Amino acid sequence: MDSSFPQDLFCDRESVLATMHQKEQAIAPILEQQLGVKVVVPQGFNTDEFGTFTRDIKRAGDQQNAARLKVEKAMALTGLTLAFASEGSFGPHPAIPFVACDCEIVLLSDRTHDLEIVGQAISTETNYSHKSIQSLEAALTFAQQIGFPTHGLVALSEAQPTPSSHLVKGITDEAQLIETVTWFLKKFDQAHLETDMRAMYNPTRMKVIAQATEDLVYKISQRCPQCGCPGFAPAERKPGLPCGLCGSPTNSTLAVVHRCIKCDFSNVTYFQDGQEFADPTYCFFCNP
């Protein structure tokens, strides 16, 4: 293996974490312990300009693009060459459409070695929810359902906000909730309540961010057999695992392709999970 990438690539380097929502609570301990980096958080850094969950500011592109913009600005502000950023997305699970999920990424950008590596975690453990209510009683019931007050709430005047919409974020105690909802009901006859998905108001999300950070650290530990570059991670999954009953190919994963982000070396691993046949439940012929 080529030694152009030393094993302690990040050890003792100062890095910047592009956050304003206290994500360092979930991310920094893992990075500092497992990579040996020192993590700093820039003062007055405004990540809301790259998009908000309340949709009053549209996200700049997809998750990875938004995270990339965050690290670029953080490095420009601090002059550091190593940066991390995370970005979350909430909606239907990609494999289970009627189940909500939290998809988190944590991106590493290293200008010194021209590297970008992304960790990811997808979890159904999320309180992501919203509801339009017409009474204080309904508001309190919804709050109880989503784990309030350890998980915060957002109140809006309408489900699809406009620049002129009324918006209250970070509701974390019952008195504040009652006062806010009472005001909305008096002024608009209803209120639209949403879970506050910002990390510091959502400990369930914080756990998934930590999982994505662990995935990032794992990918960094995976070195290309040819050039030694970190991030030798699965780049493609090939379907076709044969049905255990009739032998027909299914959509289940037959092989995983690992590809280097630097030299483009790749290898293919069959039956990565040790499973040589798919459950007939997933067969188009046995279970059409």
Percent of the chain at pLDDT > 70 equals: 98
Greater confidence (287 vs 284) lies with 284
Q: Which structural domains are found in the chain, ordered by start?
A: 14-126+202-228 (3.90.950.10), 130-196 (3.30.1490), 235-282 (no CATH)
- pLDDT tens digits along 229-251: 999 989 899 999 999 999 999 99
- pLDDT recorded at residue 3: 54
Q: What is the mean pLDDT of residues 270-283?
A: 88
Does the pLDDT value for residue 192 go beyond 80?
yes
- pLDDT recorded at residue 165: 82
Q: Which of 158-162, 197-201, 258-262 has the highest mean pLDDT?
A: 197-201
The pLDDT-based confidence of 154 (bands split at 50, 70, 90) is very high
Please write down the HEC assignment for all residues of the chain.
CCCCCCCCCCCCCEEEECCCCCCHHHHHHHHHHHHCCEEECCCCCCHHHHCCCCCCCCCCCCHHHHHHHHHHHHHHHHCCCEEEEEEEEEEECCCCCCCEEEEEEEEEEECCCCEEEEEEEEECCCCCCEEEECCHHHHHHHHHHCCCCCCCEEEECCCCCCCCCCEEEEECCHHHHHHHHHHHHHHHCCEEEEECCCHHHCHHHHHHHHHHHHHHHHHHHCECCCCCCECCEEEEEEECCEECCCCCECCCEEEEEEECCCCCCEEEEECCCCCCCECHHHCCCCCC
Among 111-120, 146-155, 266-275, name the one with the lowest average pLDDT: 266-275
- pLDDT tens digits along 52-83: 888 888 888 899 999 999 999 999 999 999 99
